[in-house]
Amino acid sequence: MTTLVSTASGSIISSSGIGARYKPFDHHGMYESFERARAEEPVFFCPEINYWVVTTREDVLLLLRDATSFSADIALAPVTPLAPEALAILKAGMGAEPTQVNCDPPKHDRIRRVAGRFLNARRFETLVPDIRRLAREAIGALEGRAEVDLVADLVYELPARVLFLLMGIPAEDAPRIKRWAGYRILMTFGDLSPEEQRRGAEDMVAYWRYCVALVNDRLRRPESDYASFLIAHRGEVEPELSDNEIISLVFGLLLAGHESTTNLSANALLALLSHRPSWQAICSDTSLIPGAVEEALRFSTSIVCWRRRTRAVRA
């Protein structure tokens, strides 16, 4: 994982060497590029996106753990500046506010105290039978087929269907939520044309309105899902969680809760099928699966980079 850092001043700095050659939107050769950077120029400036790129584990951890010097407020800001038409659509139809990954203490800590009581290992453990059922259904649907696309047919919707167990969302909504989520990621981390940005902005507004409708429904008719929990426990922090914060939390989880898992699952399958001895070992001994998952997180993670903004320039 790397970290992209925006300077407090936002000024553009000339670049040479690795920074001049780095292609932030090209995945081909990405790992080789980072390996070379760690050896030769572990912190470099990329003029294409106007960010400093930090590549070593030690420096990345330092940045992510120091909220005083490095703010998370730009974590979900578009890497590529949005066109005026897309910005106008978002401004008119969106009301999301920073709540978790793009939020600093003390607000982040206050929100986490409530959300963390629902999103935890104890609750996830109660879902294991349903998760196994969904996985078996997804795998069973592949049986007898001469050709299978492991991404489209197995790992594309399955993580979202698992997340829906926590959020009380019907399974039939998976296709449109996956489409909305895909556009949201491209709007944040991609390099879209103005027309693609317009379509993406329209999808993000539809996504937001879906979350608004979900929370409004739970305000009237509570269930046992995430939004209902946030509403029921909103007053346990000061100030209490607002309706808009709860909607923003639902909006955030309805992306983060499945897209990274889809990407990691696809990466893991590709890595294992490209290393047949490892694949065969897992097929022969399923006790190796937990270790393989941990290694996939390290070897071919679903999150390539994260971002921080410097609050001050150190001497």
Pick the CATH number of 84-303 from 3.40.50.300, 3.40.190.10, 1.10.630.10, 2.40.50.140: 1.10.630.10
Q: Residue 134: in which H helix or E strand, if any? A: helix 128-140
pLDDT in tens, 245-280: 999 999 999 988 999 999 999 999 999 999 999 999
Task: Supply 223's token pair.
Answer: 């269930």
Cβ neighbours for 28, distance < 8 A, ≥ 6 positions apart: none
Distance of CA 13 to the CA centre of its chain: 29
Q: What is the pTM of this model?
A: 0.90
Supply φ then ψ for residue 179, to 5 degrees. Answer: -65, -45
CA angle 153, 157, 159 (to 5 degrees): 120
Q: What per-residue confidence (pLDDT) applies to 27?
A: 84
- Boundaries of CATH 1.10.630.10 in the chain? 84-303
Q: Which residue has the higher pLDDT, 217 or 5?
A: 217
Sign of CA dihedral 27, 255, 127, 234: positive
Average pLDDT, the chain: 92
Q: What per-residue confidence (pLDDT) applies to 12?
A: 47
Per-residue pLDDT at 45 exceeds 70: yes
Alpha carbons 117 and 119: distance in angstroms, whole number: 6
- Note whether 211 and 247 are within 8 A (CB): yes
pLDDT in tens, 87-109: 999 999 999 999 999 999 999 99
